[in-house]
Structure 1
Amino acid sequence: MELSPTQDGFLGEIAKDFTFATVARLAGGVAARLAEEGLRRVVVAHDTRFLAKEMAEEAARVLAGAGLETHLLQGPAPFPLFAFALAEKEAAGFYLTASRKPAPYQGVKLRRGPGKPLSPKELSLPPSPPEGRGSFALLDLKKPYLERLAQSAGEMGEKGGVVYLDAMGGAGGGFLAGAFKRLGLGAELREIHPLPHPLFYGVDPNPVPENLNTLRVLLKALEPPGVGFALDGDADRLAVFLPGGEMLPSEGVLAHLREASAGREVQGDGEGGYLFPWHLPEKDAFLAALLLLKVLL
């Protein structure tokens, strides 16, 4: 196994480094670590990559076989939903995603709890896949997450105009539409590449201008009021485009978010990730998008 460690997990090439045996070993190592810390509950989730669902099911079976109360989020789950699930279940987390990396790659983000990364340095992986397998419970928290999202966004006012969203075939398709419905927004949401796609429609799921030709062409022809958004593969990062096709720099996005948050804390990582500690202990691109509508429309 030649996985590359990351700050909060591992990354490898699917079928070469990141295999079902690798996933089982990772899950076994995580289970042992959580047991050492007295943690007994874990949520597993996955993005839209090739075999992500099946690998997530394998991880869930191994974690359950180790005696953990294991929940698997249904369908491709964006990272903000995964973070919400950890908070709701007071659980550790095992999330299969390679985020912005090209389609041939898969990885895992590990959490010992909501907003608490589990470093690879803290894990000791078994030399072979564990033999035990157990049963897991399916978990559907999309509706309560959208309710939390709408609550955190607050009063939106009368907002018109056009909002484009390129989900890039990642895990974030359809979620902003659900928030629009709950908030009763009058703006027209036009989604691009909303359906899950393991090859991300032929580009890397990194929301930078060179990967967003369709969105940029549409924004060039868009008259104000309007805005364009793009998500990365696991929907924890947001790119923002103005009418005319210009991408708003991250420092400008952060300034607008602080204005829209009315004094509440907002943190940015300089790479399109925005954290609202009063909402969730992890980054949430959907809340960032909703708050930006308050000042950009």
Structure 2
Amino acid sequence: MDELRFGTDGWRDVIAEKYTFANVARVAQATADYVKSVGGTRVVIGHDTRFLSDRFARHAAAIVAANGLEVLLSRSYVPTPVASFAVVHEQAAAGVMITASHNPPEYNGYKLKGPYGGSATPEIYAGMTQRLDASPPARPRSEAVKRFDLRTTYYERLAQLVDLSALKNHSGALYHDAMGGAGGGWLAGFVKHAGLALDLRELHGVPHPLFYGVRPEPIPQNLATLRAVLSAEKDPVFAAVTDGDADRIGAVLAGGTYFNSHQIFAVLLHHLYRKGLRGRVVKTFSVSKIVDLLAEKLGLEVVTTPIGFKYITDEFLKGDVLIGGEESGGIGVAGHIPERDGLLNALLLLESVVTTGKSLGEQFAEIEELTGFRHAFDRLDLEVDSPEVRDTLMARLKNEPPTRLGRLEVERVETLDGVKLHLTDGAWVLFRPSGTEPLLRVYCEASDPGEVKKILKEARRALGL
């Protein structure tokens, strides 16, 4: 049988290679065995807009139902945060989301959710994977599967988390690029449900299994059309971008300028603080130091975790977390489920613009002034021949890290998750393998875009690529 590898957030593979109905059945059976082992009786299953996602979800649901568990399957595609919300609302023991998130169109995946409505913790994933192939998949029972639709209930939850009175007084424009993914139509639906006068303009809102020719990750190289459209707009208009399953968020400002995930994180943190909310700030290893500096100015504790939202979920479950986020644009906030929610975050960004009267760019400039730090960031995704090559390169970096990159010396090395080199002048560069693809990612932050380019060039040279 195929060896199935579980990364930072579940199992992902190429459709028809390892991502097959037979392998989905194996994982579904392990899920059912795990849920029964903890005394659970109900499982929620959702799916995104990828090729065959609905059929993979139906197959997984039929396998789990054949084990005597009650299974609630979404009537249509749903964003991951909606599936996670459904787990809590329906008091399920676990949730499954059939999605490969931001991976290329040829991938699909299997995310597991805990009973609290967020990414499964490492302990839950261990409990499930330990049971993989312990018993053969049960004979599917599709007739035992029930359907759910919580669109209105989810909208009511969003309405509790945003300042509706402020949003109702705003009649400006907001763009939403769903990238052909599961977020399509959901923000527009909320605007109608809440009775907002907002002029919501959708791009790529119709589901598309090939995501209109790009991978559904909200980073600059995938947003050419949106950036061209926004080039004619003026502040404070901006576009919110959601990834393939709408748990991550990106943004493009008026004029077509990309507003990265670190900037979004900082603006949301500052906005929540201004709303009177307090708590710990949780960030993954690859997030900008401007978040640390802002939290310090606001008197808030910062917790740094390995990369993967499941580690942030762990901190949410401990309590007293204001906001938690990762470089990829997955951000969770206090008062909601312990989960990334690109739709809620889009509304909170709009709320920040409406209540301050300042564009996102102006708000971030204020944060730079407050912290005394100028932020520039970029990332390389380097394709390698195989996972083995990727792992060999990472082993070499850990055993013999560079002592300098170009003119900059390496002052210290951290290996919490990957290899992070702290350089002179306050810059840093992080080398980390992808958990789902034969990629080696290189992240860099410095105080100047030109310096970031130089450092990434030297980092690539240090890898011999």
TM-score of the two chains, using structure 2 as the length reference:
0.61
Deviations 1:133-171 (A, max 9, x none): 351100010111011111211235222322111101100
Report if aligned partners of 1:226, 1:296 keep a CA contact under 8 Å in 2: no
Q: Which one has more relative contact order, counting CA pairs under 8 Å at least 6 apart?
A: 1
Task: Tell me, in whole angstroms, the C-alpha distance in 2 between the residues paired with 1:19 and 1:176.
Answer: 32
Question: Counterpart of 1:111?
Answer: 113
Structure 2 CA distance for partners of 1:118 and 1:40, relative to 1, 3 Å: farther
Residue 266 of structure 1 aligns to a residue in which SS?
A: strand
Q: How many residues align?
A: 297
Task: Tell me, in whole angstroms, the C-alpha distance in 2 between the residues paired with 1:49 and 1:266.
Answer: 30
Question: Counterpart of 2:153?
Answer: 144
Task: Tell me, in whole angstroms, the C-alpha distance in 2 between the residues paired with 1:139 and 1:193.
Answer: 25
Task: Tell me, in whole angstroms, the C-alpha distance in 2 between the residues paired with 1:46 and 1:196.
Answer: 12
Point out where structure 1 has 5 or more consecutive residues left out of the alignment. none
Residue 117 of structure 1 aligns to a residue in which SS?
A: coil
Task: Tell me, in whole angstroms, the C-alpha distance in 1 between the residues paired with 2:119 and 2:50.
Answer: 24
Task: Tell me, in whole angstroms, the C-alpha distance in 2 between the residues paired with 1:116 and 1:107.
Answer: 14
Task: Tell me, in whole angstroms, the C-alpha distance in 1 between the residues paired with 2:187 and 2:98.
Answer: 22
Report if aligned partners of 2:230, 2:253 keep a CA contact under 8 Å in 1: yes
Task: Tell me, in whole angstroms, the C-alpha distance in 2 between the residues paired with 1:284 and 1:198.
Answer: 21
> Which is helix-richer, 1 or 2?
2
TM-score of the two chains, using structure 1 as the length reference:
0.95
Query: Percent same amino acid among aligned pairs?
Result: 42
Question: Counterpart of 1:86?
Answer: 87
* Residue 162 of structure 2 corresponds to residue 162 of structure 1: no
* Residue 262 of structure 2 corresponds to residue 254 of structure 1: no
Residue 240 of structure 1 aligns to a residue in which SS?
A: strand
Question: Counterpart of 2:102?
Answer: 100
Report if aligned partners of 2:119, 2:339 keep a CA contact under 8 Å in 1: no
1:203 counterpart (214, 230, 249)? 214
Report if aligned partners of 1:96, 1:108 keep a CA contact under 8 Å in 2: yes
Question: Counterpart of 1:266?
Answer: 323
Shift of 1:118: 5.2
Question: Counterpart of 1:193?
Answer: 204
2:339 counterpart (277, 282, 285)? 282
Residue 81 of structure 2 aligns to a residue in which SS?
A: helix
* Residue 141 of structure 2 corresponds to residue 133 of structure 1: yes
Q: Rg bigger for which structure?
A: 2
Deviations 1:231-277 (A, max 9, x none): 10000000011111112232321232234331322222222111013
Amino acid aligned to 1:206: E
Task: Tell me, in whole angstroms, the C-alpha distance in 2 between the residues paired with 1:18 and 1:71.
Answer: 22
Identify which range, 177-186 or 98-107, moves more after superposition. 177-186
Task: Tell me, in whole angstroms, the C-alpha distance in 2 between the residues paired with 1:128 and 1:115.
Answer: 28
Shift of 1:20: 0.7
Residue 233 of structure 2 aligns to a residue in which SS?
A: coil
Shift of 1:79: 0.8
Structure 2 CA distance for partners of 1:132 and 1:166, relative to 1, 3 Å: closer
Question: Counterpart of 1:67?
Answer: 68
Task: Tell me, in whole angstroms, the C-alpha distance in 1 between the residues paired with 2:336 and 2:180.
Answer: 26
Task: Tell me, in whole angstroms, the C-alpha distance in 2 between the residues paired with 1:151 and 1:121.
Answer: 35
Shift of 1:128: 4.5
Identify which range, 157-166 or 127-136, moves more after superposition. 127-136
Amino acid aligned to 2:162: A
Amino acid aligned to 2:195: G
Amino acid aligned to 1:101: N
Structure 2 CA distance for partners of 1:47 and 1:202, relative to 1, 3 Å: same
Shift of 1:213: 0.8
Question: Counterpart of 1:237?
Answer: 248
Identify which range, 76-85 or 125-134, moves more after superposition. 125-134
Question: Counterpart of 1:153?
Answer: 162
Q: Which runs of 4+ in 1 moved over 6 A?
A: none
* Residue 352 of structure 2 corresponds to residue 295 of structure 1: yes
Amino acid aligned to 1:179: F
CA RMSD of aligned residues (A): 1.6
Report if aligned partners of 1:2, 1:12 keep a CA contact under 8 Å in 2: no
Amino acid aligned to 1:121: A
Amino acid aligned to 2:233: L
Report if aligned partners of 1:150, 1:182 keep a CA contact under 8 Å in 2: no
Structure 2 CA distance for partners of 1:230 and 1:132, relative to 1, 3 Å: closer
Task: Tell me, in whole angstroms, the C-alpha distance in 1 between the residues paired with 2:260 and 2:108.
Answer: 28
Amino acid aligned to 1:107: G
Task: Tell me, in whole angstroms, the C-alpha distance in 1 between the residues paired with 2:140 and 2:260.
Answer: 49
